[in-house]
Amino acid sequence: MDGMPEGTVNNILKQETLKWVFVGGKGGVGKTTCSSILSILLSQVRQSVLIISTDPAHNLSDAFQQRFTKIPTLVYGFNNLYAMEVDPKVENDEPLEAEGMESFISDLTNAIPGIDEAMSFAEMLKLVQTMDYSVIVFDTAPTGHTLRLLQFPSTLEKGLSKMMALKNRFGGLLTQATRLFGLGDEFNEDALLGKLEGMKDVIEQVNQQFKDPDLTTFVCVCIPEFLSLYETERLVQELTKFEIDAHNIIINQVLYEDEAIESKLIKARMKMQQKYLDQFYTLYDDFHITSLPLLPEEVCGVDALKQFSAKFLKPHKAIFSQGSVDEAEKRVALIRVQLECAISELDKLKKGKQKAR
Ligand SMILES: Nc1ncnc2c1ncn2[C@@H]1O[C@H](COP(=O)(O)OP(=O)(O)OP(=O)(O)O)[C@@H](O)[C@H]1O
Ligand SMILES: [Mg+2]
């Protein structure tokens, strides 16, 4: 359609500066499938790609049919695509043995909920940044969680100022305590503060990167249903609030009239979907909207992912473009089907009313 951004993910593949690609949306809509396919497509145009799942219910392993851990592992059949699964709630690798430190940390954790999670996310980002991948794709956990992690710089900021306040208030008390327990200098609060300060630098750096549309984008995955439309709108608003760029929406599980459809159920579902598809296209006319068909089977394993990836590169014409006569005819046919559905539904309603009288 004229003036409308292309309905593919080509813009992401073409954006050579892109470093972070977040893929998010409601549970079960196809985030893991879409992020896996995006990482495969990116591996064809970029030097090296890492896909990270931050969902505690890891499913990259299911999609690729290969076991992954928190260490980046080469995906079978690729020489530049790596995958890792991290738990945002992992315990710290270097536990702070000092009791004084522990209580200090737990005070802090109680004072600022989410700081432990934010810190392990920061650790992970720090690690990933040193690894020098050209682009990093995140398969994120369902909506709320992701946004919380993207907020982590401000969470940590709060944590730091709280610590500073504590430090100022108690002066050298903590240092004395650590000495009392016979702990070395590396356990004093200055060392800890230093560590947090270092973390803050990483976080500020990463935060700046997340807010830079040249480096970062967020891909919203959804399905053509009311709840998903609603969640997408909320997600887009939140992203705007956090100043995180988003200009791609993937609408998954769309029913197409590839064959003559007899089933009343499917016809009714198609009609329902069409209503929400129209709303998506109207609401997000400045987004690249990629619509993907609902397949008869799951998308499991590299071969299936690769096969499905073709749909990410070519817009589905049947419903939305107004190009050729052929396409126009298809669209008319679809509308006719929808009309038929509407009429039969209306008839049913009328009959129902008559019966009721
Ligand atoms: N277009 C499609 N047609 C058929 N099956 C699909 C399609 N997209 C995804 N699937 C299948 O649906 C299931 C859920 O997809 P996926 O795991 O990608 O969703 P998710 O959003 O990551 O879910 P979760 O929120 O649980 O992490 C998978 O088994 C996947 O293979
Ligand atoms: Mg998933």
347 included as an active-site residue? no
Binding site annotation covers 7? no
Q: What are phi and psi of 42, to 5 degrees?
A: -65, -35
CB atoms within 5 A of ion ligand 2 belong to: 31-32, 59
E strands in the chain: 20-24, 49-53, 73-74, 81-85, 135-139, 216-222, 248-254, 288-293
Q: Give the predicted TM-score (pTM) of the model.
A: 0.78
Q: Return the bridge partners of 129, or none.
A: none
- Can you tell me whether residue 248 is helix, strand or coil? strand
Tell me the mean pLDDT in the region 31-46: 97
Asked whether residue 56 carries a pLDDT value surpassing 60, the answer given is yes
| Model confidence at 320: pLDDT above 50 | no
186 assigned to a ligand binding site:
no
Distance CA 158, CA 115 (A): 9
pLDDT in the model for residue 348: 80
Distance between CA atoms of residues 105 and 100, nearest Å: 9
Structural domain boundaries of the chain? 10-318, 322-357
Does domain 10-318 sit in CATH 3.40.50.300?
yes
Closest-lying ligand 1 atom to the alpha carbon of residue 29:
21
Higher pLDDT, 99 or 306: 306
Burial of 189 (0-12, 13-18, 19+ CB in 10 A): buried
* Ligand 1 atom having least distance to the Cα of 295: 3
Which among 2, 55, 139, 185 is annotated as catalytic?
55
**According to the per-residue pLDDT averaged within each range, which of 103-112, 283-292, 332-341 is highest?**
283-292
Q: How confident is the model at residue 126 (pLDDT cuts 50, 70, 90)?
A: confident
* pLDDT over threshold 60, residue 94: no
Q: What is the pLDDT of residue 55?
A: 75
Q: How far is CA 58 from the centre of its chain?
A: 13
Closest-lying ligand to the alpha carbon of 145? Answer: 1
Q: What is the pLDDT of residue 346?
A: 76
CB 85 within 8 A of CB 50: no
Which tens digit of pLDDT belongs to each residue from 134-153? Answer: 999 999 876 556 666 666 66
Cα 24 to averaged position of ligand 2 atoms, centre (Å): 9
pLDDT at 201: 76
pLDDT at 194: 72
Only one residue has tokens 């709840």, namely 227
Nearest ligand by distance to the CA of 63: 1
pLDDT greater at residue 164 or residue 286: 286
**Phi, psi dihedral angles at 16 (to 5 degrees):** -65, -20
Q: What is the mean pLDDT of residues 161-172?
A: 68
Q: What is the distance between the alpha carbons of residues 217 and 219, in angstroms, rounded to a whole number?
A: 7
- List the structure tokens of 255: 């029913």
**Any atom of ligand 1 within 6 Å of the Cβ of 59:** yes
